[in-house]
Structure 1
Amino acid sequence: MRIAGIAALAAAAALASPGQAAPAKRDDALWRAAVNARADQIALLQQIVDIDSGTGDVDGGRKVAAILAPRLQALGMTVETVPAEAPGLPDNLVARLQGKGRGRILMIAHLDTVFGPGTVAKRPFRIDQARAYGPGVADEKGGVVQGLQAIRLLRERGFTDFKSITFLIESSEERGSPGTRALIARLLAEADVELNLEPGDPPDMLTVWRKGSTTFHIAVKGRAAHAGVAPQDGRNAAVELIHQIEANDVFPKSGPGLTANLTVMRAGTRHNIIPEDAEAQINVRVREKADFEKVEQTYRANAAKPRTPDATVAVTRESAYPPLPSNAATEALADQAQAIYAGLGLTLGRGGNGGASESALAADAGVPALDGLGPVGGGFHSDAEYLELGTLTPRLYLLTKLMMELGANPPPRMK
């Protein structure tokens, strides 16, 4: 690992739990296997990053799955293609492996990104001495590859001290998993623990809490008219939408708690027509579930009082990820992970962020969950997205060792 990377990892010490367990002894054979997996990890990462697979890109999602499924089958896993639960989405992959032990482990990763068709052609996968770049390289194709490689290391070792390992690679996480909700619920009912392969935050962090997320749609119906001949006959939906946005602008845009941010606006069809329709989308993140209702009540109250005569305003809400709250079960898993990492002479921090994930669904179902187990990255949802290459090997070791420990000794369900 490069010197700068070690310094960055060490900087996380202040963020670690003060009561973390003593370092676990390093498994030298597993460490060597993780080191030796690096070249294949990077090669597979390049292969799937260089395929556009933004949410809703059915063809791109199928291409990524077509690369992953044979590799999972070659590891002795039973691979099932599960149709998406919403239209216009690729199928999901569910790979299963049976063992001889007690723990039922569910790993979740997602192959969809936030980037549209043609992104790869503009900025394909590339690496420098420290980082890998490309659309979805960390969020979350790096985690997909890490999950597959961890299973490979277990198979090469002949490790079977688990009851089952289920690896869900889903295709619609970036929209709140509309194509996977029922599937996730079924898999959680069969799991003792959920390990989520979202990227770790810099410098080297686990995610032990997350905000919940939903998007509110505000749609205005006005009346079209000629903008030059008879504008007075029109009812301008765009103007009313602006009024609604201003009235609703009462919540913070950043910070540790509730945030609400305007992300999409649409209005009008021609330069000489008063807009009949206008729509906005506002993305809301919360630490407390009740805040979703607080926002909705505000938006609906304002919708009932349009300032434009004869205009109507409708408010709808997408299905939401609940928050992943701070909880004892997740903290205990984080303690376990920190002890494993300390055996490598490294310090693993813990924290949280506003990015939602499936781990919140796990905790909501009473299944202990640990998030942010993928390689460390940053610049998510932007052209600056990157993955820290120096974390590939220690994070692969961590995930594999954690699966070994949880397979042998699964945690109790949450109360």
Structure 2
Amino acid sequence: MKLHRIAALALATAAAPLAAKNNPVMAAAEAARAEQLKLLETLVNIDSGTGDVAGGTKVQAIVAERLRGLGLTVRTVPAEAPGLPDNLVATISGKGKGRILMIGHIDTVFEPGTAAQRPFHIDGDRATGPGVGDEKGGVVEGITALTLLKQLNFHDYKSITFLVETSEERGSPGTRKLIDELVREADVELNLEPGQPGGAITVWRKGSTSFTISVKGRPAHAGVDPQNGRNAAYELIHQLQLADSLPKTGDGVTANLTILKAGSRYNIIPEDAQAIINVRVRTKAQGEEVTALLDRNAQNTLIPDTRVTVTHDVSFPPLPNNPATDALAATADRVAAEIGLKLPHGGNGGASESALAYEGGIAALDGLGPIIWYAHSEREYIELPSLTPRLYVLTRLLMELGKSPPARLK
């Protein structure tokens, strides 16, 4: 076991012995654990990869039923892009000041049939299954936090709105207008993306843009007259070599080849070739610099008579380090300390809706779900010792921000 994982487990489990009699929120969180895991198992065992309308609809129906049972008003909102399940917006009104927006997503990166192949499973301190952490664990945590507020008869908030969306893994094309609308009606956003390995909550995130490099060449018979062809695949390789100076890992800009296509038949010189490079940036200016670099490269062709075009699609802008998020993180630190838990602060290259909330003018805090390892892979799992402490932190944040919300940024 790696040392940093041991440290993470120590932080997550430190809260348990301190849970105690005089803390009704922690007592309620501990009591909710069995039902929390049962609901998580139910949702994980339903495939809901992005674009799986049938599976996503099944998951949303279960979520909607739970939220209605807690007294929330639930509405379904059609996705803003084709081939996606409806989004779900659930709202409850209280007697306090804060208007809180929680955001989670039920779409995963896994194909239909994955849940049957490797269903929800608990092995020691790990829970596995497709999307168990990213992000069904967070969605279930949000539902359970609202359950705790109802049990504790806590209403000291003006409103809590829970958006459960269905296209985050593709950059939320089905919810952009809806998110903008909900952000205008909120004072603060709490995002249920998973906690980072090591236990950190997320105070910054990179933005995500996919760049498509397309090459048009000239086809020819590969055996009879290859000299008359213009090989689009060779030119694409050249373009990728020109872009290879961009970093692949690290806290700054990263650019990684994710999709590569060329040719149509084994005996034809490729007329078309295409590559997608996924770029993550800390600032919008960095994204503009990458755009300029790839555009310049496109003018520098190696194979005569080939044409290179570069297009890009912005999924999410970055969530930069900022004082408003830092203030929310300080509140999270304070409520975590009530149960003896220390929360590291960090960031990562995974983009999320928090950047949209921040751009819309409200403070945003991310990574509040259970601690996850190996996201987007068959090894993905959540640390079960983190389940109850992270639920406690989210519930107490809802209580504190309901009573005393931050001022809107704009």
Tell me the TM-score normalised to structure 2 length: 0.94
- Does 1:349 find its partner at 2:344? yes
Cα deviation 1:168-195 (Å, max 9, x = unaligned)? 1111111111111111111100010000
* Secondary structure of 1:249 counterpart: helix
Matched, 1:140 2:135: yes
Deviations 1:372-392 (A, max 9, x none): 100111111111111011111
Q: Which residue of 2 aligns with 1:19?
A: none
Q: CA deviation at 1:313?
A: 1.4
- One-letter identity of the residue aligned with 1:251: L
Q: CA deviation at 1:317?
A: 0.8
Residue of structure 1 equivalent to 2:305:
310
| Shift in Å, 1:259 | 0.8
Report matched runs for 1:153-164 at 5 Å: 153-164=148-159
Task: Give yes or no for the alignment of 1:372 onto 2:382.
Answer: no
Q: What corresponds to 1:57 in structure 2? A: 52
How far off its partner does 1:258 sit?
A: 0.7
Distance 1:126 1:368, change over 3 A: same
Distance 1:208 1:320 in 2: 19
Mapping of 1:9-408 within 5 angstroms?
Answer: 9-10=9-10, 28-408=23-403
Question: Any stretches of 5+ residues in structure 2 without a counterpart?
Answer: 13-17
Any idea what SS the aligned residue of 2:34 has? Answer: helix
**Which whole-Å CA distance do the structure 2 matches of 1:87 and 1:26 have between them?**
51
8 Å CA contact 1:130, 1:389 repeated in 2: yes
Question: Once the 2 structures are TM-superposed, how far is the Cα of residue 206 of structure 1 from its aligned partner?
Answer: 0.8
Residues 109 and 376 in structure 2, CA contact (< 8 A), matched pair in contact too: yes
Equivalent residues of 2:46, 2:55 under 8 A apart = yes
Percentage of pairs with the same residue: 63
Give unmatched runs, 5+ long, in structure 1: 13-22
Equivalent residue pairs, number: 402
**Partners of 1:115 and 1:126 in 2: CA distance:** 16
Aligned pair in 2 of structure 1 residues 307, 363: CA closer, same or farther (>3 Å)? same
Alignment-derived partner of residue 18 in structure 1 = none
Q: TM-score, normalised by structure 1?
A: 0.93
Rounded to whole Å, the distance in 2 between the matches of 1:51 and 1:190 is: 32
Q: Is the 8 A contact 1:108 1:167 kept in 2?
A: yes
CA distance in 2, matches of 1:104, 1:176: 25
SS in structure 1 at match of 2:197: coil
Query: For 2:316, what is the secondary structure of its paired residue?
Result: coil
Higher alpha-carbon deviation: 232-241 or 162-171 = 232-241
Secondary structure of 2:247's counterpart equals coil
C-alpha distance in structure 2 between counterparts of 1:391 and 1:54, whole Å: 25
SS of equivalent residue, structure 1 residue 127: strand
Would the aligned equivalents of 1:5 and 1:390 in 2 still touch at CA under 8 Å? no
Which one is further off, 130-139 or 152-161? 152-161
Conservation of the 8 A alpha-carbon contact between 1:10 and 1:346: no
Would you say the 8 A contact 1:10–1:347 is kept in 2?
no
Q: Secondary structure at the match of 1:402?
A: helix
**162-171 or 55-64, which moves further after superposition?**
55-64
Corresponding position of 2:408: 413
User: Is the 1:268–1:278 Cα contact (8 Å) retained in structure 2?
Assistant: yes
Distance (Å, rounded) in 2 between the aligned partners of 1:355 and 1:316: 21
Alpha-carbon distance in 2 for matches of 1:250, 1:297 = 14
Amino acid at match of 1:352: G
The one-letter code sitting in structure 2 at the alignment partner of 1:350 is H
Find the residue that maps to 1:79 and give its secondary structure: strand
The change in CA–CA distance for 1:367 and 1:394 in structure 2 (over 3 A counts) is same
Q: CA deviation at 1:227?
A: 1.4
In the alignment, the residues of structure 2 paired with residue 343 and residue 26 of structure 1 have an alpha-carbon distance, to the nearest angstrom, of: 13
Match of 2:15 in 1: none
Q: Would you say the 8 A contact 1:9–1:348 is kept in 2?
A: no
> For residue 334 of structure 2, what is the amino acid of its counterpart?
A
CA drift at 1:292? 0.6
8 Å Cα contact 2:257/2:278 also seen in 1 = yes
Q: Match of 1:90, as an amino acid?
A: P
Give, in whole Å, the separation in 2 of the partners of 1:88 and 1:186: 22
3-state SS, counterpart of residue 320 of structure 1? strand
Contact 1:26 1:343 (C-alpha < 8 Å) held by counterparts: no
1:10 Cα deviation after fit: 4.8
Q: After TM superposition, give the deviation of residue 9 of structure 1 in Å.
A: 4.9
CA deviations on 1:333-370 (whole Å, 9 max, x unpaired) are: 11111111111012111111111111111112220111
What secondary structure sits across from 1:62 in the alignment?
A: helix
Q: 1:159 to 1:89 in 2, by over 3 A?
A: same
Cα deviation 1:227-280 (Å, max 9, x = unaligned): 112222222111111111111222111111111111110111211122221111
| Residue in 2 that maps onto 1:8 | 8
Q: Over aligned residues, Cα RMSD in angstroms?
A: 2.0
